Structure formats: C-alpha cells, structure tokens
C-alpha cells in the first residue's frame, strides 16, 4: 500500500508516517516546512523519517494545486492522509490569510488531486483521511461530551471556521464525485516531538528557563489532552476501515477525559521537578473554555481506546524535551 501524507514533517504527520513505515508501507510525505514555528524541529522530524527506505519526502505547498495534483496522479496512492494545515487559534487573529491559503485553498487542492487521480491512469481515487479539529464545536458549556451529531455553534476563531469549511467541502466532494472520505476532529494532542506553540511545550520551556508562564482564562479552562500514540492508533484504525465510495464520515478523536488547566500544570511541574511562576490573564480572543470528546463512534468503528493518561504522558514529553534540547 502506498500512503501519501501531507504535513509529514508536522507533529501528527511525522508520527503517522513512523507508524506506517513500521508496518512496511510505502510512505510519500509532503510538507512545505513553513516558518509558523522553528522549521528546525520539522527538519529534525523529517530526518527521523528519511532513514527509512520506504519513505520519500516531497517539499511542496499543498496550496499550489498543479504540483500536488501531478504528484498524486503519478504516485496513485491507495490512501491520502491530509494533515497539513495552518494551526493555532491565536495566530489567526493577526495572520488570517495564512489560514485562507493553507486550510481552504490547500484543502481544496487535496480534494481536486484525489478527484482527478483516477483519471490520470485509469485507476481509482484514493481514500482520503483528513484532519479537522475540536475547534469546530465553538464555545459551549460542558454539560456532557461533544458529539459528532451536535449542532455546531458559531466558530470562536477563524481557524475553527476554516476547519469547518473543510468538512463541508469534503462532504460536497463525496456527494458529487464519489470520494471516500473520513474527517477526524482532533482534541488537544501532546507528546514527544510536539508543537512549540502549544501549552505543554511552551510551559515546559518557560519553567525550565525560569520564565513565568501565562495562564489564560485565569486558569479556569479544561482540555481533552490526548497523547500522540493514542491519536496515531485512531488514525491507523480509520485507514484500515475506509469509508465507502461517496461516503463522508466524521469522528472525534480524543482522550474523552477533560482535565483542568491547573491540574495539567501541576502534573507538568511534578514531571519537571520545579514549580512554575504563574501570571493569570483573561481568556484570549478565539479561545474556548473547555473541550470534551465523545469517542463512541470511533470506538465502534475501530475499537479505539486511549491508553496513556496525562500523568504518564507528560513525563514522557519532559524526558523527550530534555534530551532534544539538551537541558
């Protein structure tokens, strides 16, 4: 099986590539190594993949439709795992057009490439598994887990709006062109090789450096923190259980155990062995108070069952961070 992974040098993308390679699949990675955060971390992830004979990296921008379409037509992958995106809620306040390009134009380029892949060599369109986000649920009270059937509130950020737009575009393409598609709504992923803009990574850097951490929402926030290995388990399960031609499915993929921000900080402080200096601030524009995934739909399809608790996962991250940054 040949699998094309966009965002292959990203946090989740690199982890998915590693798991596919461990199964001896042929993996074709796509990434543009943008500078949203230090590209050196992306290069380091890519270097971990390049040692595998079954991996090839293609440095291109998914928002450029012609090169992407040509690549997909040539490779004829069985599956496309589309994880490339402009991430981050707060960044969208000051850089909205980065989201228009990556998350709207980029997603459309992937859909078009999959749609026309079969035309190129008389084959069939690949199944498409793509990343959505828990952000599509918007701001809402925690009176129970978020379900895929919930009516979606007004998006709280442009990032959320672009991810919801991607879901709608995918639904349309499945209906019009018979594409097999599965969208995954990721809930706060963390772990080794994670993103520096996310709280776990940023807090670790600051605590070790003796710099105060900024605790938004006065600390009264909660997230469904999900360890990277559990996320990859879910992605692999979906790859192995493809949607039917013309079917578009959506699944939450999270830990289903929301944890308060202050509890996360406590566990992180324990793993680091140092107490954080804290500056409490109001919630920032675009942030939501809490997230909580109902994962029953994904469990029914794949047997998905997260295994790594925050108390296990954060020390693993801290160990990786110390080794990678030599601190």
- Which SS3 state, helix, strand or coil, does residue 248 take? strand
Q: Using one digit for the tens of pLDDT, what is the confidence trace for 249-304?
A: 999 999 999 999 999 999 999 999 999 999 999 988 888 889 999 999 999 999 99
Q: Are 233 and 297 in contact (CB under 8 A)?
A: no
Q: What are the catalytic residues?
A: 159
Please check whether residue 212 lies inside any domain of the structure: no
Q: Is residue 63 part of a domain?
A: yes
**Tokens coding 70:** 């040509």
* 107 located within any domain: yes
Single pTM value for the model: 0.96
pLDDT at 118: 75
Q: Which residues of the chain have pLDDT under 70?
A: 120-122
Q: Tell me, what CATH number does 127's domain have?
A: 3.40.50.720
In 3D space, the residue among 163, 152, 128, 140 whose CA is nearest the CA of residue 3 turns out to be 128
Residue 131: the pLDDT is 98
Q: Is residue 210 part of a domain?
A: no
Compute the half-sphere exposure of residue 112: CA atoms within 13 Å on the CB side of its CA: 15
User: Could you tell me where the beta strands, DSSP code E, fall in the chain?
Assistant: 2-6, 26-31, 55-59, 79-82, 127-133, 181-186, 189-190, 213-215, 222-223, 226-227, 248-253, 259-260, 278-280
Neighbours of 162 (CB within 10 A): 26
**Does 37 map to a domain?**
yes
What domain range is 99 assigned to? 2-187+228-255+293-307
In a domain, 127, yes or no: yes
pLDDT in the model for residue 122: 66
Separation CA 206–CA 23 (nearest Å): 37
Classify the C-alpha dihedral 123-125-127-128 as positive or negative: positive
pLDDT of residue 287: 84
In a domain, 327, yes or no: no
Query: For the chain, how many structural domains are there in total?
Result: 1
Q: Is residue 123 part of a domain?
A: yes
* The token pair that represents 74 in the structure block: 């040539």
């Amino acid at each position: 099986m040949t699998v094309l992974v966009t965002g292959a040098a990203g946090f989740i993308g690199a982890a998915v590539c590693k798991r596919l390679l461990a199964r001896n699949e042929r993996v074709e990675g796509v990434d543009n190594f943008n500078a949203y955060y230090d590209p050196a971390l992306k290069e380091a992830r890519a270097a971990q993949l390049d040692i595998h004979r079954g991996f090839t990296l293609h440095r291109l921008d998914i928002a450029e439709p012609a090169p992407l379409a040509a690549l997909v037509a040539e490779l004829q992958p069985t599956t496309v795992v589309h994880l490339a995106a402009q991430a981050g809620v707060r960044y969208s306040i000051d850089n909205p057009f980065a989201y228009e390009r990556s998350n709207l134009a980029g997603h459309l380029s992937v859909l078009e490439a999959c749609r026309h892949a079969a035309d190129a060599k008389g084959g069939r369109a690949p199944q498409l598994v793509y990343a959505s986000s828990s952000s599509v649920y918007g701001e809402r009270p925690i009176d129970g887990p978020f379900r895929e059937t919930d009516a979606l509130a007004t998006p709280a950020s442009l990032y959320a709006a672009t991810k919801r737009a991607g879901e709608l575009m995918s639904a349309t393409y499945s209906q019009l062109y018979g594409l097999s598609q599965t969208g995954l709504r990721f809930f706060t992923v963390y772990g080794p090789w994670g993103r520096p803009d996310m709280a776990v990574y940023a807090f670790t850097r600051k605590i070790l450096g003796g710099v105060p951490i900024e605790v938004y929402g006065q600390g009264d926030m909660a997230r469904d923190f999900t360890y990277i290995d559990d996320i990859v388990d879910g992605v692999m399960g979906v790859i192995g259980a493809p949607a039917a031609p013309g079917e578009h499915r959506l699944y939450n993929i999270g830990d289903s155990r929301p944890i308060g921000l202050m509890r996360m900080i406590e566990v992180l402080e324990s793993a680091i062995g140092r107490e954080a200096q804290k500056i409490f601030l109001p919630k920032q524009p675009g942030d939501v108070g809490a997230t909580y995934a109902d994962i029953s739909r994904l469990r029914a399809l794949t047997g998905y069952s997260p295994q790594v608790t925050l108390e296990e996962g954060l020390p693993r991250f801290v160990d990786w961070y110390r080794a990678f940054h030599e601190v």
